[in-house]
Structure 1
């Protein structure tokens, strides 16, 4: 369901709102050329999600690392099984601390495009 339609349905139905917050699979991709308030929308979606994520796919272009860091710290928690991250255009230094002990035990599929792991000092 497109994001706009999901938001409208959430306004109309309390039951849909609860199911949206517990949906275990989230795929968030940027529409061609749109950045605008996309960061605010994704921020709200991930903040309001209840933490039962199993699959997260972020396909974004031109989004600040500051946002990605925040979103990943919110969404990548023990219990996540699949993570796909494609920031496009620029390399993203994915924080090693993201993969805590609980995350390392649950993750089964990891696909990172244009990502690097910074060396420890």
Structure 2
């Protein structure tokens, strides 16, 4: 079963967004790394997920996407598109993981993450 492992908030003013969520909810917002602010929403002894805030790209300027961890990103992309999803950004490779962005059949954006292990 694939699990939601984090959220990703897109903003056209990530510094302002980071300040807002930090001051209102007490989230710890890290220094930007490649324009991405890692967000810790609480301690690991309570249920919840962490995420990040970044400058929203042209294809997703505002909003929140969940990131779903999968065992095989190629299979997950294939199954998603067969079920009606559209690929926004195909499989991208990073040091420790692969990432892709899709939109489900009703327009909800989500990401797929496969760790390289």
TM-score (norm 2): 0.25
Identify, as 1 or 2, the structure richer in helix: 1
**TM-score under structure 1 length normalisation:** 0.25
